[in-house]
Every structure is written in C-alpha cells, then in structure tokens.
Amino acid sequence: MTQTNNRLIDEIARLATDAAAVAQGARREVETVVRSQIENLLSEANVVHRDEFEAVKAIATRAADEVDRLRARIEALEAEKTKESV
C-alpha cells in the first residue's frame, strides 16, 4: 500500500509540475501577444517615445527662455528710445 501511495503522490507531483510548465508557457505567450498589440495600438495612435518628447520639451523650454530674453531686450531698447525722444 505504501508503494502505491508513493507512486500516486509521484504521479500527482509530476502532473502538477507539467501543468505549471504549461501555465508558464501560456503566460509568456499571452504577454508576448499583449505587448505586440499594445505596441501596434501606440504606433497607430502616433504616440511619441518618451525620449523624443523630452527632446522637444527641452527645445521648447530653450525657445521660451530666448523669447523672454528678447522681450526684455526690446522693452529696454524701447524705454531707452522713449527717454531719448523726451
């Protein structure tokens, strides 16, 4: 009886191990399909990559700073011109 129980337990353990391996493989396959679908959706939606966004953001920040600098310079020149004509 003990030998029969051991064989039964061994068989259950083997089946459980096989089932876990199958589940792991299915999980990997599902992850691959989902990742592929998400990449396709993002590509079709014209979503930019984070690094591209950060680069454009930096350019826009520098441009805004330059506009502020030029605006201040124009205001100073206009103020100087107003003083000269008075």
The distance in angstroms from the start CA to the end CA of the chain is: 116
Residue where the block lists tokens 């039964």: 8
pTM of the predicted protein model = 0.48
Q: Which two tokens stand for residue 62?
A: 């520098």
pLDDT of residue 3: 67
Per-residue pLDDT of the chain (86 residues; tens, 9 = 90+): 566 778 889 899 999 999 999 999 999 999 999 999 998 998 888 888 899 999 999 999 999 999 999 999 999 999 998 888 77
